[in-house]
Amino acid sequence: MDDYYYMKAAISEAVKGKEEGEVPVGCVVVYEGRIIGKGHNRIEALQDPTAHAEILAITAAAEYLGNRRLEGCTIYVTLEPCAMCCGAMVLARANKLVFGAYDPKAGAAVTLYNIPTDKRLNHQLEVVGGFMEDECGGILTDFFRRLRENKYIN
């Protein structure tokens, strides 16, 4: 298994979200070569502003491990995480974050903030950004294009 395999699993989660009418962001958490947590946005379905793909995947991984700490885990997500999700990754003590598309409006891993690598915090993650960026970003671009088209039709 490699980064491509795990990011494709995150992309599959994003597609599930898209099919449910959610903003298509997907995430998987990997520990010792196994996916132990996965999620896609469920904000609309749950009417919960915290139901981001990353939060759901982190929660599932912590439950799997029986531990709030995700030491030794890598998190793969199709879109650069927001401040809330980056904060959760730091608090969970994950080792590494790999994300696809950069988020110029809310990205808190590299674009607007550098939360996972901020030395002022008590934990830092290794960050790899722009991995499979075109494929990850394409899902979002297509979703929002179709959303705009449908709004104009109604």
DSSP 20-40: TTS---EEEEEETTEEEEEEE
- Sign of the CA dihedral 12, 73, 66, 57? negative
Comparing CA positions, the residue from 124, 46, 110 lying closest to residue 82 is 110
Q: Which two tokens stand for residue 2?
A: 């490699």
44 is catalytic: no
Provide the residue type at 50 as one letter: T
Comparing CA positions, the residue from 122, 106, 109 lying closest to residue 76 is 109
CA dist list (Å): 74 to 48, 49, 65, 99, 128: 25, 24, 14, 11, 11
CA angle, 144 then 116 then 134, to 5°: 35
Which of 54, 71, 80, 126 is catalytic? The answer is: 54
Q: What amino acid positions are annotated as catalytic residues? A: 54
